[in-house]
Structure formats: C-alpha cells, structure tokens
C-alpha cells in the first residue's frame, strides 16, 4: 500500500510540523510550499493530499476541484486544511474528502491521515 503523503502548505512552520509528525508515524512526506502541478501529483500518486486552502499562488479549492475532476487523481483523498470558519462548506464545495480546521489537534491530523491512507508500517522508513 502506498504510504506517500503530499502536503501542500505555504507556512513553513506548519509544513515542518506536519512532516515531523507524519514521518514519525512512518509515512513518506512530499512537501510543496505552493500549489503543486497536477503532473507531479499524477507521477507521485500519494495515498493522501493535505491541502491548505489559502496559498501564496492560489487557492487549494481550485486545485482540489482539478484533482477531483481528473480521472488520474480523482481517487486520491484530499484533506482540506484551513483557518476559515466555514471550512466544512468550502471542503464540501470543492469535493474534498475531509477537512481539518486550523489550528489543528495533532492527534486529529494523525487520525485523519490514518483513516484515508491507512497506518504506515514502520519498517517502510
């Protein structure tokens, strides 16, 4: 089973935190500090995408819509992450599989990733 997680977030501190936590859980993390090109995601085929909604070069919702309308990426679970008070509606509107409000609880992050990607085998590190 694929244990690669793509994290698309423009806040370096949040990227570092997510990388540290999920790497410790046994996942392989690919970090993007801006909207990732679809061809990178098609090539990587991550088990899950953690996607910030507001990025320096656009909105995560637009990328989410593109991913969910592309037959090569529509199967990849997208977890939309945002500090917006209406994140639940935003996530539903763009077809995200789940959402994680900022600031987020680390246990909730791990729980969501495991739900959509499955637990990582520590021997895969």
Q: List pLDDT tens digits, range 61-117.
A: 999 999 999 999 999 999 999 999 999 999 999 999 999 999 999 999 999 999 999
CATH numbers and ranges of domains, the chain: 4-118 (3.40.50.2300)
Mean pLDDT rounded to a whole number for the chain: 91
2, pLDDT greater than 60: no
Q: List pLDDT tens digits, range 5-44.
A: 999 999 999 999 999 999 999 999 999 988 888 999 999 9
Separation of alpha carbons 88 and 84, rounded Å: 9
Q: Is the pTM of this model over 0.85?
A: yes
């Amino acid at each position: 089973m694929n244990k690669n997680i793509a994290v698309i977030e423009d806040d370096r501190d949040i990227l570092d935190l997510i990388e540290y936590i999920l790497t410790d859980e046994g996942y392989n993390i690919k970090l993007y500090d801006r909207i990732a090109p679809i061809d990178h995601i098609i090539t990587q085929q991550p088990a899950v995408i953690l996607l910030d909604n507001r990025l320096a070069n656009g909105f995560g919702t637009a990328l989410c819509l593109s991913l969910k309308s592309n037959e090569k990426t529509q199967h990849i679970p997208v977890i939309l992450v945002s500090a917006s008070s209406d994140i639940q509606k935003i996530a539903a509107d763009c077809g995200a599989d789940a959402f994680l409000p900022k600031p987020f609880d680390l246990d909730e992050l791990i729980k969501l990733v495991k739900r959509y990607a499955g637990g990582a085998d520590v021997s895969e590190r």
